Amino acid sequence: MVYNICHWGCIALCNIAIGLDLIPDFIPFVGYLDDATVLALCLNLVHKDIILYKAWKENTVTTTSQKAEE
């Protein structure tokens, strides 16, 4: 099986990597505030994605080992 689910955390990472801004960075403080907000949300979402991936992986390994025993 292949894990092919793309969650919002991945999309938020792409936003940071590409550098799209709602508020340009040359505006003092506020320019970086949107980046910091996206980064905080991204870290939270990626953490949740990792938990979901681990659960999927454990389920896949368990299912595969059960099939091998049969």
pLDDT along the chain (70 residues), means of 10: 68 70 80 82 83 87 65
Report phi then psi at 14, rounded to 5.
Answer: -60, -40
| Res 56: pLDDT | 86
Contact 37, 16 (CB under 8 A): no
| Res 22: pLDDT | 73
Contacts of 15 (CB under 8 A, 6+ apart): 38, 42
Tell me whether residue 45 is exposed, middle or buried, using C-beta atoms within 10 angstroms of its C-beta: 0 to 12, 13 to 18, 19 or more: middle
Has this prediction a pTM greater than 0.75? no
Percentages (nearest 5) of helix, strand, coil residues in the chain: 75, 0, 25
